[in-house]
Structure 1
Amino acid sequence: MAPDTLNRPLRVGWYIHPLRLGGLEHFLLRLAKKLDPQHVEIVGIFARKGEVVDAFTGCGIETKILNFRSFRHGFENLSESLLSHRIDLVQTNMFTPLAAIAAEHVGLPHIWRVGGHPDVALRRMNPDERRMHLEVMAAQSTAIVCNSQFVAEPFAGFSGPKPVIIRNGVANVLEYQVRAPSKKHLRNLPRICMLAHFDPQKRHEDLIRAAALVITRFPQARFALYGSTFGETSMVAYRKELRKLIISLGLEGVVIMKRTKDAVAELCRATVSVMPSINESSSNAILESMACGTPVIAADSGGNKEMIDSSTNGLLVTQCAPEELANAILNLLQEPAFAQKIAISASQKIRHDYDLDICATRYLTLYRSCMNDLKTVDPENSKCAV
């Protein structure tokens, strides 16, 4: 049914991983709160309870927990829920086909929002299996949304909808910078921050090894690695290895690892924000650092290159190169005027390319287009009001 004939807000069901409250989930929360409820109502759909469900509920967003025991049970439960909750459009925000199959079964359009690079998200599959998985998901979707060109590249040559690029949005820069303290007092006590869950892809060890080099010039510098293991065995093991590395390099008290309930506050307080992760799609930590007015150093890899023009609005360094990373950190600490210059330029880029209002407008345009069965719409230049 076309949106003009609904006589009510468009109800969009978002199928979301319930357990990992990371950058993607924080972005979805921001987007859900920004979309005008007169036009769109978001319903968060989850396989089971978890901290992401609690976060959505805490923000007043309607949620549905399936509690399924098997894929078939989940399919039946979800199909029924889509009808009983009067869902008009389904959006999958992870790499599982359940919601796409259920949407097709009950005759609803489906959007697949691809938030991470398939080679990372599906790394346990071999290349042929990954490609088959992507082709199946694409075939079941009315539209595919990617948050960077880097993420869209694997879909080249596929039949079906062409990926649409809608970059993640962050709140108005002023909303971040009003929380940012003056960094003048940090020149003598620099604070280097990394915000990323403890996954080997994030390359925390590069920053730890860089820290050992930086403190030879700035012994008062402190390094904070904020993130979570989500209780996953592989991440817990990785964090333990990082702890051993910190001890072996004599960095106890210099490098800390812990969780934070207010990531934006930590980024605002930082002198420098670092993201050495490889094959990152569109790092929310980078975007929020730029919005906070905190200069960013990132690996020259993946979607990082689409956000950062090195030496203009941030610094890019060779991936897996701790010495180069250390030199970049020292460059910013030794040249505060240069650090301030790239931070200002970064704020301008956020205003121009990553504004949350623009992002929400593009999603609304896409939702309306899918309801009208326009499979190749590009909302990039839409002027629809949010």
Structure 2
Amino acid sequence: MSATRYNRQIILKGFGEEAQQKLLRSKVLVIGAGGLGCPALQYLAAAGIGHVGIVDDDTISLSNLHRQILFTTADIGKLKVEIAAKRLQEMNPQIGIVRHPIRLQKNNILDILSRYDYILDGTDNFESRYLINDACALLNKPLIFAAVSGFEGQLALFNVPDQFTPGTNYRDIFPIPPHRDEVPNCAENGVIGVLPGILGTMAAAETIKLIAKIGLPLTNKILSYNLLTQEQYTISITHGDGYTLPKTVDEFLKMDYQDTSEGPQGYTEIDVAELAKLQQLESTILIDVRERHEVPVLDKQIFIQVPMSEFSTFLGKEFYQKQVVLICQHGVRSVAAAEAMQERYGDTKKIYSLKGGIIKWKDHFLKS
């Protein structure tokens, strides 16, 4: 450990060398490298968290940049996990960064979360929040939760007991997920960039307090913050009822975590059968957004190649086809391209992304 790097916090009264060593020995997983995750990751890495994990399966789009401050315009189309890890490692080469370029699901979340001491939830949909909450409760992992909506944000700690109450969880506040479209997300409701920056930084602060055992963490409380008035207040959380929390792995795997929060995305993810049907229509254009060196090489008489590195230029062009099918290796970059096309063309085009990409449907493409 370089004492010079962390000198300003080591010399802080009430912190010291012992607290710094606790940070260096800790393992923190940040779920979501978005508006909340980016500032949280930066401050956790800078503070000297010994092992930082990042979970995100998304790629960077232009609409991310006003709040996701680890990324630049040149990063559009690239995996958030890869760029975030690169920037954090440059910031602090003394710590370990682990990339998880996946979407957390019932069949993988317990294995990944079990490798870390603390979990920070920076996701923006209710499906993920309930999934993460239940997994942390089952594994008894401290969960640092942050969320934003409009001009307000919330912050809480779950599965952390205080001297009076055993640890509460997200379902003690919201026992049942809301219905689809009941609560708008950032894509529908909008968000000013500094708000997730503030809440993400506060989440990092709560994480550091927990690990270093300093101050009064938000155990069994939820903090509400209003950007427009700079007012904040906390409400105590008590154990509720009216919900089911899985007690075993089998019970967890039987839970239903359907996405109830996200409304229409402006594009549709399709399988290879739907691709084949669309391919027969003269009004369909098939676009391969992989880079030119990637294999397998697709028939250029059928698939137009527009790499993500050149995609912004392509968006300035007009074309007559009404259906657009976007394809990449794993179905991640094609979603980013679909989002960008939807922003550019709106309802004038029907936009599709091949879910799972060429790798999932390789037999189909090898026969073509």
TM-score between the two structures when normalised by the length of structure 1:
0.32
Q: Give the structure with the higher percent helix.
A: 1
